[in-house]
Amino acid sequence: MRLRVAGAVLLSAAAYYVYLPLPSGVSEPWKLMLLDALFRSFMQASDMAHALGVCHRVHLLNQLVSWVEVIDAHSCSVVEVSDSPLGGVPTRVFQPKGGEKPKRGVIYFHGGGWALGSGRMRSYDLLCRTMAEKLDAVIMSVDYRLAPEAVFPEQYHDALAASRAFLSVEVLERYNMDPQRLCVSGDSAGGNLAAAVAQELALDDSLKVKFKAQALIYPVLQALDFYTPSYQQNQAVPILYRPVMARFWLQYLGADSALEPLLLANNHSSLDQPGISSSTRSKLNWTALLPPERKKHFQPVVKETGSAGVVGEVPGLMDVRAAPLLAEQVVLSRTPKAYVMTCEFDVLRDDGLMYARRLQDAGVTVTSDHYEDGFHGCMVFAFLPMMSSVGQRSMHNYIHWLDQNL
């Protein structure tokens, strides 16, 4: 009897910890709750270790994620997989066996807030392996340096170095890739790097080979407005909470974590900040850039007066290499055709939607692929054991777009 009572108590406690009220339209809510409970456990353990001075929270969190996810490179009957540097940056390469030659090519940057994850994680390995097989394409998944050891612009420099090498004659010939059918892609923070690289290389007239396409998966593109409608609507929706995104930004930009409350209050982008011009503000003016169905009832939060000097203290906030949404229209106009995936239940939804609109306004051909039941990170959950319906659909449509546009 006592064992039954104890079991019931433990089960109730577990259910209480796992249960989280979610929007009614989110895909398979119980799977998302379980995923969130796992992530919250990892993050709470990491925060505790950080507070006790055992190690930096990111180090433990990465160790936990790596223990669960990182796998060795292993080939199969249809795809050869190997770990090899690309422009001096560690990279996992997926080469289909047989098929047509030359092959299409995709360079991919993983997500994780510029601080977590790896292209060697099982989820990314499976994604890139599937891409290689379905597209009969060479996929290169880049392991750029991570915060806190590396801060902006080091992750960007790694992504740029790997991309330049990817486009080089030597690499194209080594892997037998078609120079006319190349794409830069990534998800979340990796989507940020992919967008920044696409802008930089589009302006480089010395390059003989350019990307034909850019494919951005729920990218993070700006850190001046933490009150877009999607930040307001989804601030408490897993797996990317609003405060966590602010923390990731501060880590990436090498800034003091004590600034987090200022970012979350939009004090850093108040009207009295001399470093933010009206032209800059127009580039992320969601009242003009978002369609009515995304703006809903939400109102802008723009402070008249804020915390002086934040932009000067953290110049990365205004650097287009960190915040590609702030790029000038003439720069955007030179970037390749784009695919931009967004999810309704994601704080980053409006970053992607605004970028898609600005690219379109600049004359770029854009495919905007929105998932009404999607959540942040869903595409990498297209496989067991956390397979989700929206994950499978989004991955299928992403690969289909690449197939039709490369």
Task: Report the distance separating Cα 234 and Cα 244, nearest Å.
Answer: 12
Give, for 349, the enclosing helix (H) or strand (E): helix 349-361
Q: Which two tokens stand for residue 239?
A: 């797996």
Own/partner pairs, 116-119, CB within 8 angstroms, 24+ separation: 116/58, 116/61, 116/62, 116/65, 116/146, 117/62, 117/65, 117/146, 118/66, 118/69, 118/70, 118/143, 119/91, 119/92, 119/143
* Residue in this structure with the two tokens 């030359």, named with its chain if needed: 102
Unique residue bearing structure tokens 């270790």: 49
For residue 383, CA distances in Å to 262, 336, 392 come to: 38, 30, 8
CA distances from 346 to 23, 99, 201 (A): 11, 38, 29
From 374, 375, 345, 370, select the one nearest 355 (Cα to Cα): 370
The residues annotated with a catalytic role in the active site are: 188, 346, 376
Residues present in the chain in total: 406
Element (H, E) at 187: strand 177-187
Tokens of 98: 């047989």
Residue type at position 288 = A
